Amino acid sequence: MTVNWERWPALVGRGLLYAICALILLFLVAPILVVIPLSFNAEPFFTFTPGMLRLDAQAYSTRWYEVVLRDPVWLQSIRNSLLLAVLSTLLATTLGTMAALGLHNARMPAKGLITSILISPMIVPPIVAATGMYFFYSRLDLTQTMTGLVVAHTLLGSPFVVVTVLATLSNFDGNLTRAAATLGANPAQTFLKVVLPLIAPGVLSGAVFAFATSLDELIVVLFLGSVDQRTIPRQMWSGIRENVSPAILAMATILIAVSLALMIALELLRRRADRRGASMSAPASQ
């Protein structure tokens, strides 16, 4: 058996690269992973007890998850967050998709300026955006209202929809819409039966980002929300300031699971878009 010594430098270099990437990933993820075992702590404080370090079953408990799922304050914050996330995601997805379709038009004037304005909420610091929204919405009597929060979360989530849909439209074949018009389809039928199915992965990806943005948003809620409009991030922030409880870690673990599910959904959408792009390019190449 002969050993190919010429391949050893490449193999060693690849192994070192994988090891360095694994260490960097562990360094970034470790603070998040620590939250998970702490959320099962039976003690009423943030620490690894000796029993947890010895893997003693009595040191672990689901009591804090029961607190989150039974406490009326936590339940109200969950309902508010889900309501805000769903409503703002629907609005952001609709408005962002319409904006992306308009910006995709080659005859659109001042396209660069309009695009910069639409995606500016992604760039402006949250505290600046929240302050501006507070003074603007206060003149319209939208502060401390659910309507104001929905509009604010829509503004924060729309840029993600615009960016993802524009990226999907960059590979869209405009001849398909002209072919649909030639066959007698009106603009609404062309959009629903031709354009929307092809850009659906981008639309859904933007919707996922908008949902996650709304679910994670805190600063705008602090400025615009009332006492009865506590969301999950605001309740966690208030819990840290007022009454430190491992229930916060239990909710954080639930949010980690939700974030992981959203990441998996995004990956599935990306693979679907890649397969659809490959299937569309195959007939063209032939």
For 216-247, the pLDDT digits (tens) are 898 999 999 887 888 989 988 887 776 677 88
Q: Supply the pLDDT for residue 91.
A: 95
Quick: pLDDT tens for 38-91: 888 877 776 766 555 666 667 778 888 888 888 898 999 999 999 999 999 999
Q: How many CB atoms lie within 10 A of CB 100?
A: 25
In a domain, 235, yes or no: yes
The letter for the amino acid at 208 is V
Q: Which residues in 196-227 are b (16+ Cβ under 10 Å) and which e?
A: eebbbbbbbbbbbbbbbbbbbbbbbbbbbbee
pLDDT at residue 24, as a whole number: 92
Q: Please indicate, yes or no, if residue 11 is contained in any of the structural domains.
A: no
Tokens of 186: 């009106």
The pLDDT, as a whole number, for residue 94 is 93
Q: Is residue 172 part of a domain?
A: yes
Question: Would you state the pLDDT for residue 281?
Answer: 47
Whether 44 is covered by a domain: the verdict is no
Instruction: Please say if the pLDDT value at position 101 is more than 50.
Output: yes
What is the residue whose two structure tokens read 């990226």?
167
- In 3D space, the residue among 265, 100, 110 whose CA is nearest the CA of residue 195 turns out to be 100
E-only strand ranges, 26-163:
none
Give pLDDT, residue 187. Answer: 82
In a domain, 223, yes or no: yes
Domain of residue 217, residue span: 59-281
Instruction: Please indicate, yes or no, if residue 68 is contained in any of the structural domains.
Output: yes
Assigned token pair, 92: 């952001």
Position 118, amino acid: L
In a domain, 232, yes or no: yes
pTM: 0.82
Residues 6+ apart with CB under 8 A from 206: 92, 93, 96, 97, 160, 161, 162, 163, 164, 165
User: With contact defined as beta carbons under 8 Å apart, do 279 and 76 qualify?
Assistant: no
CATH number at residue 260: 1.10.3720.10
Question: Please, which residues bridge with residue 60 across strands?
Answer: 41
Percentage, residues of the chain above pLDDT 70: 87
E strands, 195-264, where?
A: none
Q: At what angle do helices 63-70 and 247-285 cross, to 10 degrees?
A: 80
Q: Is the model's pLDDT at 156 over the cut of 90?
A: yes
Average pLDDT over all residues of the chain: 83
- Note whether residue 29 is domain-resident: no
Contact 74, 247 (CB under 8 A): yes
Total structural domains in the chain? 1
Enumerate residues 6+ apart whose C-beta is below 8 A from 158: 92, 95, 96, 99, 118, 121, 210
pLDDT at 2 over 60: no
- Per-residue pLDDT of 111-154, as tens digits, reads 888 888 888 888 888 899 999 999 999 888 888 889 999 999 99
What pLDDT, on a 0 to 100 scale, did the predictor assign at position 82? 93
